Amino acid sequence: MTPTEFDTRIVLLEPLGQGASGVVYRAALVNGASRDVAVKLLHRGGVGATRPQLVEFRREIDILRSLDHPRIVKVLGACLAPPRMSIVQEFVDGGSLHEVLHSSEHDTVRDGANFGGSEDASSDACAPGTSLSKISFRAQLTVAVDVADAVDYLHNSCDPKVIHRDLKPQNVLVDVRGRAKLADFGIARRFRTTFLDTKNHAIGTLNYMAPELFGDGKGVDVSCDAYSFAMIAYEMFTGEFI
């Protein structure tokens, strides 16, 4: 879409989070009936962005558009021109796994929501008003399986394989029904050779990065995502910050 179409169809409502490349907003997509979406808007709307930043942005869009899996956030559109350079994605209504696990002020589950993902609401459903941070073991397993399913798709169903490179609880979105979706493909790569950036140093989130990412990049493959997934699982099942 063009910047004019963005201003006509998108209403930014509130910031959800901020990263190195931009800010993610909850927004309303006005296209007939209004619906909530998530909009990742580059800093300053892309005005003054460097060539490497533009390359990264276009690569993220290209990768997202190639993915089709229920446990990965869907891209709905994009604006490639300043001052509205952005990615429009589906909105996940429960927050990040990090918030679910560690925030005492996280939003509560909607009335009647079954966060355990079980058909038997009596066994794992959260009562109305129960904090999402207090989730059952079965609910944790549901999230773990959802994330593993998404990673398996990236590694074994995509050609070439896609390496996320930044798996962490902040990039796992959990809806109020307890189902997880993988998000933020800002530093993802299609697997060909190594995964060092153009400045020749490893990138990602320190506490979730596989040890081999700190070397010369040789031998790095999809297993770096497997390591990060294991760190997420450890944090989720123990409740400890990594």
Where residue 60 sits, what CATH number does that domain have? Answer: 3.30.200.20
Tokens of 49: 């962005």
Q: What pLDDT does residue 203 have?
A: 66
* Phi, psi for residue 69 in degrees, rounded to 5: -150, 140
A 10 A CB-CB count for 134 gives 14
Q: Which residues contact 32 (CB under 8 A, 6 or more apart)?
A: none
CB-neighbour burial class of residue 136 (10 A; exposed 0-12, middle 13-18, buried 19+): middle
Distance, in Å, from the CA atom of 171 to the CA atom of 60, rounded to the nearest integer, reads 14
Each residue's pLDDT, cut to its tens digit, for the chain (242 residues) gives 898 999 899 999 999 988 778 899 999 999 777 899 999 999 988 998 888 889 989 999 999 999 999 999 999 999 999 999 999 999 999 899 999 888 765 443 333 334 433 333 333 433 333 344 457 899 999 999 999 999 999 999 999 999 998 999 999 999 999 999 999 998 888 886 554 444 445 567 888 998 887 776 666 789 999 999 999 999 999 888 77
Indicate whether 171 and 211 sit together in one domain. Answer: yes
Indicate whether 183 and 226 sit together in one domain. Answer: yes
CB 232 within 8 A of CB 167: yes
Indicate whether 181 and 141 sit together in one domain. Answer: yes
CATH of the domain at 199: 1.10.510.10
Q: What pLDDT does residue 202 have?
A: 57
Indicate whether 13 and 37 sit together in one domain. Answer: yes
Domain's final residue, options 54, 75, 90? 90
> β-strands 10-18, 180-182: how paired?
unpaired
Indicate whether 212 and 109 sit together in one domain. Answer: yes
Q: 152-189 burial, b for 16+ CB within 10 Å, e for fewer?
A: bbbbeebeebbbbbbbbbbbbbbbbebbbbbbbbbbbb
Q: Please give the angle made by the CA atoms of 47, 8 and 186, to the nearest 5 degrees.
A: 45
Residues belonging to the binding site are 40
Q: To 10 degrees, the CA torsion angle through 170, 172, 175, 181?
A: 150
CB 88 within 8 A of CB 77: yes
Q: What pLDDT does residue 124 have?
A: 42
Indicate whether 110 and 208 sit together in one domain. Answer: yes
Q: Which residues contact 112 (CB under 8 A, 6 or more apart)?
A: 121, 125, 128
Indicate whether 55 and 173 sit together in one domain. Answer: no
Residues belonging to the binding site for ATP are 40
**The one-letter amino acid at 33:** A
Give the ranges where 126-210 is alpha helix by DSSP (H). Answer: 137-156
CB 180 within 8 A of CB 146: yes
Domain's final residue, options 40, 75, 90? 90
CB 39 within 8 A of CB 24: yes
Could you give the number of structural domains in the chain? Answer: 2
Domain that holds residue 153: 97-238
CB 178 within 8 A of CB 200: no
Distance, in Å, from the CA atom of 117 to the CA atom of 96, rounded to the nearest integer, reads 17
